[in-house]
């Protein structure tokens, strides 16, 4: 029988490699920068972070990882975390992600830019 992990063990933020931390930090910074500005843009940034973490093996608890890492990264995370996100259709995700790409919002790194492009293509299937 395989080992079963408690959520806190399996999804401990400290288990992230440096590259994963760097990209998550950039995605959360985009989310934080958009608080109070755009619900749609903020939703795309949050959902990109969740999908990124899911792809990295944090699939069952990505929001828990975001909350933990966000509180370590941002001194005022509780205020940032109060901002909500929305449900959107695939077409809305695609349109908003394309607008964010065009505006240079994902220019933090080549990795984040590539994630945004992948997210936009995936969202067309939703």
What is the mean pLDDT of each successive set of 10 residues along the chain, which is 126 residues long?
42 71 91 90 92 85 85 88 86 92 90 90 78
Backbone Cα Rg of the chain: 15
- Please say whether the beta carbons of 30 and 45 come within 8 A: yes
Indicate whether 1 belongs to any domain: no
Indicate whether 58 belongs to any domain: yes
H-assigned helices in the chain? 7-10, 18-34, 39-53, 62-73, 77-81, 90-102, 110-123
Q: Residue 13 has what pLDDT? A: 53
pTM above 0.95, yes or no: no
| Domain ranges, residue 93 | 17-123
Indicate whether 5 belongs to any domain: no
Q: Residue 52 has what pLDDT? A: 92
Indicate whether 12 belongs to any domain: no
For the chain, the domain total comes to: 1
Q: What are phi and psi of 71, to 5 degrees?
A: -70, -25
Indicate whether 3 belongs to any domain: no
Please identify which residue in the block is written with the tokens 């919002």.
105
Indicate whether 11 belongs to any domain: no
Indicate whether 70 belongs to any domain: yes
Indicate whether 10 belongs to any domain: no
Residue 103: exposure state from Cβ atoms within 10 A (0-12, 13-18, ≥19): exposed
């Amino acid at each position: 029988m395989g080992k079963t992990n408690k959520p806190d063990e399996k999804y401990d933020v400290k288990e992230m490699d440096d590259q994963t931390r760097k990209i998550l930090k950039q995605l959360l910074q985009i989310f934080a920068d958009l608080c109070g500005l755009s619900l749609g843009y903020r939703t795309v940034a949050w959902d990109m972070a969740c999908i990124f973490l899911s792809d990295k093996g944090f699939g069952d608890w990505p929001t828990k990882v975001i909350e933990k890492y966000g509180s370590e990264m941002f001194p005022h995370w509780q205020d940032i975390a109060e901002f909500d996100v929305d449900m959107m259709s695939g077409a809305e995700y695609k349109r908003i992600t394309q607008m964010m790409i065009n505006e240079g919002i994902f220019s933090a790194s080549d990795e984040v830019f590539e994630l945004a492009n992948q997210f936009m293509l995936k969202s067309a299937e939703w």
